[in-house]
Amino acid sequence: MEDIRVGVDLGGTKTEAVLLRVGGEVPEVLERERIATERDGGYDHVLSRVAALIARFSTRAPAASIGVGMPGGLTRAGLVKNSNTTCLNGRAFHADLRRAVGRPIAFDNDANCFALAELAFGAARGAGLAFGVILGTGVGGGVVLGGRRACTAGRTIAGEWGHVVIDPSGPACYCGRRGCVETYLCGPAIERRHAARTGQRQALAEIDDPVTLAEVAEIFGRSLAIVVNVLDPDVLVLGGGVSNLSILYDEGLRALARHVFDDEPRVCVVKNELGDSAGVFGAAMLR
Q: How does residue 185 score in pLDDT terms, banded at 50, 70 and 90?
A: very high
DSSP E strand stretches across the chain: 3-10, 14-22, 28-36, 65-70, 73-74, 80-81, 106-109, 129-135, 139-145, 148-149, 235-239, 268-271
* H-helix segments, 135-249: 182-185, 187-198, 210-231
Per-residue pLDDT of 21-67, as tens digits, reads: 987 777 899 999 999 999 899 999 999 999 999 999 988 888 899 99
Distance (Å, whole) CA 193 – CA 171 = 10
Work out the burial of residue 205: count CB atoms within 10 Å of its CB; fewer than 13 is exposed, 13-18 middle, 19 or more buried.
exposed
In this prediction, residue 265 carries a pLDDT of: 75
Q: What is the percent of the chain where pLDDT is above 70?
A: 95
What mean pLDDT value characterizes the chain? Answer: 90
157 pLDDT higher than 80:
no
Distance CA(175)–CA(181), nearest Å, equals: 12
Q: Residue 248's pLDDT is what?
A: 97
Domains of the chain: 3-112+277-284 (3.30.420.40), 126-271 (3.30.420.40)
What is the structure's pLDDT at 1? 54
What pLDDT score does 149 carry? Answer: 61
For residue 250, what pLDDT is reported?
Answer: 95
What is the predicted pLDDT for the residue at 238? 96
Name which of 101-110, 214-223, 224-233, 263-272 the model is least confident about.
263-272
**Share above pLDDT 90 across residues of the chain, in percent, rounded to a whole number:** 66
pLDDT (tens digit, 9 = 90+) per residue, 194-218?
999 999 999 999 999 999 999 999 9
pLDDT at 110: 87
pLDDT tens digits, 97-155 = 999 999 999 999 888 899 999 988 899 988 889 999 989 888 889 898 876 665 554 55
CA–CA gap between residue 15 and residue 164 (Å, rounded) = 28
> What pTM was computed for the model?
0.84
